[in-house]
Chain A
Amino acid sequence: MSLFLQSPWLLPLLALAGLPLLVHLLSRTRPPAYRFSNIEFLQKVVRRTARFRKPKDWLLLILRTLAIAALAAAFLGPLLLSKSAPLPGEQRTVILLVDRSASMAARDGAASRFESAIVAAREALDSLRPDASNIVWIDAEPSSIFPEPATNRGFLTESLLQSGTRHEAGAVARAWELALRQCMIGRGRKELVVISDFQASAWKSVQAEVPPDVNVRSISVTREEAPNLAITSLIATPAEPVAGQECTLLCRVRNFSGEARRPVLSLDAGGSHQSQPVDLPAWGDAETAFTVRCPGAGLLALTAALDGDAFPSDDRRYLALRVRESLRLAVAAPATAPESKVARSLADALPWLDAIDCPDAANPPPCDFLLVPAWNGDASEQLRKLALRGTTILVLPGAGCSAKSLADLTGSTADAADGLLTLDARPEGWQASPVEGSPVFKLFASGEFGNPLAGVTRRRLRLPESVVSKGVLLGRFNDGKPALVSFPTTAAPVLLCNLPLDPAAGDWTTRSCFLPAFAELVLHSRPKSGADDFSLEPGALPSWSPSDPSQATTLALTGPSGKPLALEQGSGPTGPLWRSPLPAAPGIHTWLVSGQPVHYSIVNFPESESDLRALPEVPSFLPGGAVQPRESLARAAALDHGLPLWPWLVGLALIALLVEPLLANSSAPKSS
């Protein structure tokens, strides 16, 4: 409601309202003295009547003030204009910002939050009756129904009825911006109605700025707290196991409720089922490990599931693993080199390891492990990039390699005094042993399998301390010099080995411990997380580009329910790309070629949407809440349609003036 004054220049008249109070105060400060015969009796009477007289005095004062204030206000000619009343010739644009993120699927009683939101949105459209309106959806990719506010409210209502929640987190900030842009496009009075569950995790960080001419109204559809359990992550270690290898699956479960819970968590790994209970504290989480043996090479789909609860969307989590038949060890050395021979011997002994030739260390073929013996310091940056892309680099520097190249490769800094690496030789050699507590050689910690680095090293390099000190020491010689150092990166590590693979320089490779020690080194040096090319963001379109174009003829995609999905062809960076036109729902989407799965598109429920708690209070977006219409237009509207208040004020003053003498003359109750 807005209040307008016809005669605002008379505002000082309102100061008259203070007159009774002023008179009261002034008269009390210095009343005339009157010498009286006996005050004691008077005090007794005052005490007895004070209980009735004091409230009466205050009431009289209020009545007198009210009467004068009402009379003074009547002269100002106040006019009351409803805020929602349209100004003459003014249009109204209403934008509904409706949340349909995953959390809106939660049920508060009989209806879901989204169903409540639809009802609220329809009511807003019906009650506000805008000249132009539009709906902006809070999705992962916010969108509006019309490109700009339009007059077709019926279509908006229909769109509301046909819409549903998305299995994705809403991009609130971007949706807000889009809604404001829509408001700016609109004309006349602009109103933005926000209908959401105001999920705390989504809204607490939103800095909603409201232009001064936009009036924002918030409607919350959250009625009660919804306790919820959710699987928030499912991680496999190693990310790409080798056939026959055991894979550990870590499953994290969170409890979004104030009560401790003990649900049963189950895992389906390619048809084999495991389950175990999980103890969840109130508002806490727990992690459970499953061990899965990967029987053969190929794709392995895993599904972790919880007992059903009131919000089942996040009770499942999916993962796909690519089980490798073998790991590839590239050797950047001539086939006749002793190191190549050792590598091939290893590949022959280990069924899961293939040795391949690599003529150019800087451009190796696809491999998991690159062995660079007698490295002279070339292409240090390229090698480091390989490590950052996930290929473990095992470098055996040769004499003449510069300390700077070594520092570049390992990501450390060499001292200026460190020049070229020099050889250190001794006929009786040096003994090497692993550093205690090193996880790489944990298998050997008991001593049952002996010393993994046992042997005599007769020739080694003098490694610069400035470089070595930046790495993690895995093994050392008996004189304390480093034998094996690891330099972790964000993906795969760079291993610096001072133990010669050439039998002429040391007999480590001829010892029985060499094979298991090298195998452990290879397995533990693999990247913890592989390149996940299965995961898809919720709401994204499942797509895949077959490596063999001929596969496209029999290509099909099935959704999580097993039903085939429509496909459309596009073009990707590596060739033809096939995609589904519909956003992906949580679950496993299977790409089939001739009926056989060749790829998975995994969509998981967004973790942020599982916490269904709403903001403590529905946000009020200011200053839009106090929207000020254009003064002249509003004044004109008030003069035409405003409700004149002066008769009410005069009436109020008259009532006050009538009651005042009645109250003033009323006597205190008679004494007994």
Chain B
Amino acid sequence: MTTAYKFLTPDDIRRLRNYEFGAKSMVEGYLSGRHRSKQRGASIEFHEFRQYVPGDDLSQVDWRVFARNDKLFLRTFEQETNLECHLFLDASASMAFPEKSERLSKLEYASFFAACLAWLVTSKNDRVSLTLFDQGIRKHLPPGSTRRHLHDVMTTLETTTAGAPTDLPEVLHRAHPLLKRRGTLVILSDLFADPARLFTALNPYLHRGFRIHLFHVLDPAELDLENRGLSRFVDMENDSHLTVHPQALREAWKQEMLAHSRTLRALAAGRRVDYALAPTNESYFSLFDRFRH
């Protein structure tokens, strides 16, 4: 198999065949598919008995129960439906880190992962949407599962460059009306934001029943400051600068990043949000394990 996409290689596709994208909770869908839905419908999976009320479909009445106790009960089954995966990819300036390096930038790493995930979702006839953001929504591709839609996703990822400063909570607030059906929300970002504000912005999604995966994409140099002597650190998002000796701050920085990650993990655990730290020097395929049932 050959692809012309930058972020989706034949090797990736070959490996992705061994993976499955599933929802750990009930999902909403309009096609009968592999995933359970809270909407009651026709399938082979029994759900419950329910007393008949006028207007119910008589074909669902369990006549055997009626024969035994002379009461009308409906036998309901779980309806299987298709899944919607909403990809939120951070394309802010800080995601271009590291610049002029042999390592993948955070944006490239996240793009690879997003491309694979999009392919995996669409390959099972599920729908995937893509939202690129920095301080606002830069581009939104509504959910789709066609080859054409996948092509659009791939093209969008390839043409995306790092832009303005990040404001993920604001983006989540604005994107909420765009997502018509609940599904799986996958956020790929370096998460340099206030954790409390971020989870406040996620609350509406959680209330609607979204399954949320929060991938904290960081370069190794961000987790552990490189020992590069006295340097003038220039902010990639706002050009502010600070002259420091990284060696003098290394320990304190590691402690700070660890504390930030720990805070995010604690808040995520409390809200049943899946949080994962994704260093760019580790394979993104390990992240697919988090989508298994």
Contact = CB atoms under 8 A, between A and B. Distances in A.
B219 interface: yes
B192 A33 contact: no
A638 B230 CA distance: 47
B236 interface: yes
A668 interface: yes
A513 B196 CA distance: 124
Contacts of B248: 49, 53
B266 interface: no
Interface in A19-51: 27-28, 31-46, 48-49
Contact of B256 (A35, A37, A39, A41): A41
A31 B94 contact: no
B224 to A, nearest CB: 13
Contact of B233 (A28, A39, A44, A670): A39
A38 B232 contact: no
Contact of B228 (A34, A48, A668): A34
Given A39-B242, A41-B192, A43-B242, A33 B252 contact: no
B233 A671 contact: no
For chain A, the bracket of interface size reads 20 to 34
B65 interface: no
B231 A42 contact: no
Given A40-B192, A45-B253, A35 B99 contact: yes
Given A37-B94, A37-B219, A42-B244, A671 B230 contact: no
B240 interface: yes
Interface in B103-159: 106
A38 B94 CA distance: 7
Contacts of A32: 228-229, 231-232
Given A667-B252, A671-B255, A33 B232 contact: yes
Contacts of B230: 27-28, 31
B266 to A, nearest CB: 16
Given A28-B230, A46-B242, A671-B256, A39 B251 contact: no
B190 interface: yes
Given A27-B230, A44-B256, A46-B242, A35 B249 contact: no
B277 interface: no
A77 B231 CA distance: 40
A45 B252 contact: yes
B237 A38 contact: yes
B236 A37 contact: yes
Nearest to B236: A35
Contact of A667 (B99, B251, B256): B251
Interface residues of B, number: 35
A35 B234 contact: yes
A494 to B, nearest CB: 97
Contacts of A33: 231-232, 234, 241
Contacts of A38: 94, 190, 192, 222, 235, 237
Given A36-B234, A37-B94, A44-B256, A49 B192 contact: no
B279 to A, nearest CB: 14
A668 B252 contact: yes
Given A33-B241, A37-B94, A45-B249, A670 B236 contact: no
B243 interface: yes
B91 to A, nearest CB: 13
Contacts of B228: 32, 34
A44 B252 CA distance: 10
Nearest to B100: A35
B58 interface: no
Contacts of A668: 251-252
Contacts of A42: 233, 242, 244, 249, 253
B97 interface: yes
Contact of A35 (B97, B190, B251): B97
A46 B253 CA distance: 9
Contacts, number: 91
A205 B253 CA distance: 71
Interface in B65-118: 94-95, 97, 99, 106
A36 B256 contact: no
Nearest to B240: A39
B222 A37 contact: yes
A97 to B, nearest CB: 63
B198 to A, nearest CB: 15
A53 B234 CA distance: 21
A185 to B, nearest CB: 68
Given A33-B232, A33-B234, A671-B259, A39 B249 contact: no
Contacts of B232: 31-34
Contacts of B192: 37-38, 40-41
Contacts of A46: 242, 244, 249
Contacts of A41: 192, 253, 256-257, 260
A28 B259 contact: no
Interface string A386-421: 000000000000000000000000000000000000
A39 B238 CA distance: 9
A318 B91 CA distance: 111
Contact of B243 (A28, A48, A53, A667): A28
Contacts of B243: 28, 31
Interface string A345-373: 00000000000000000000000000000
Contacts of B235: 35-36, 38-40
Contacts of A671: 252, 255-256, 259
Nearest to A30: B232
A367 B69 CA distance: 173
B277 to A, nearest CB: 15
Contacts of B257: 41
A41 B249 CA distance: 11
A34 B260 CA distance: 23
A36 B97 contact: yes
Interface string B217-230: 00100100000111
A25 to B, nearest CB: 12
Nearest to A668: B252
A49 B244 CA distance: 11
A37 B238 CA distance: 10
Contacts of A43: 242
B219 A49 contact: no
Contacts of A45: 249, 252-253, 256
A40 B242 CA distance: 10
A670 B257 CA distance: 13
Contacts of B251: 667-668, 670
B105 to A, nearest CB: 10
Contacts of A48: 252
Contacts of A44: 256
Contacts of A36: 97, 233-236
A667 B255 CA distance: 12
Interface in B53-68: none
Contact of B252 (A27, A35, A40, A49): A49
B110 to A, nearest CB: 13
Interface string B158-187: 000000000000000000000000000000
Contacts of B241: 33, 39
Contacts of B249: 42, 45-46, 49, 53
A34 B99 CA distance: 9
Interface of A: 27-28, 31-46, 48-49, 53, 667-668, 670-671
16 contacts: A31-B229, A31-B232, A32-B228, A34-B234, A35-B236, A37-B106, A37-B192, A38-B192, A38-B237, A41-B256, A42-B244, A42-B249, A43-B242, A45-B253, A671-B256, A671-B259
Closest 10 CB pairs of A and B: A39-B235, A37-B94, A37-B97, A34-B231, A667-B251, A38-B192, A36-B233, A31-B230, A45-B252, A33-B232
Given A45-B256, A53-B248, A671-B259, 17 more contacts: A31-B229, A31-B231, A31-B232, A32-B232, A33-B232, A36-B97, A36-B234, A37-B219, A38-B190, A38-B192, A38-B237, A41-B256, A46-B244, A49-B252, A667-B251, A670-B251, A671-B256
